[in-house]
Amino acid sequence: MLDIKYTSLNNKEKIKLIAKQYGTSYHRYACNTSTYSDIYFISVLNKAFDQLDDKGKMYINNIYFLQQNTKWWKNIYPKSTYYRLKNKYLDQFIKNVEEIYDTYC
């Protein structure tokens, strides 16, 4: 997962790659065709996600994984707060993923 191509990306590019791979891995898992690397990848992301607080989980899910309603935040936060927290939680999630991955690989 964290190959040279991945490590040269910025966090916004990393999360897009992670979300895409998660969708692929989860689909294979749900269809009972997953590999060990799919299960490991899902496990790393779940652990990284669990380390976020509730607000961080809401941000990461709504922005990068669920992507159903792109304006979900408009009735909750001003635009500046939304973008500040979006970047904060993105950085924290990527840091969590990389630390967990480095610990177990």
Task: Give the model confidence (pLDDT) of 8-67 as tens digits.
Answer: 788 988 888 888 888 888 889 888 888 888 888 899 999 999 999 999 999 998 888 887
Q: Is residue 73 part of a domain?
A: yes
CA distance 47 to 28: 19
Range of the domain at 30: 11-104
Q: What is the pLDDT of residue 105?
A: 63
Residue 2 lies in a domain: no
Assess whether pLDDT exceeds 80 at residue 6: no
Domain count for the chain: 1
Is 52 domain-assigned?
yes
Q: Which residues contact 16 (CB under 8 A, 6 or more apart)?
A: 64
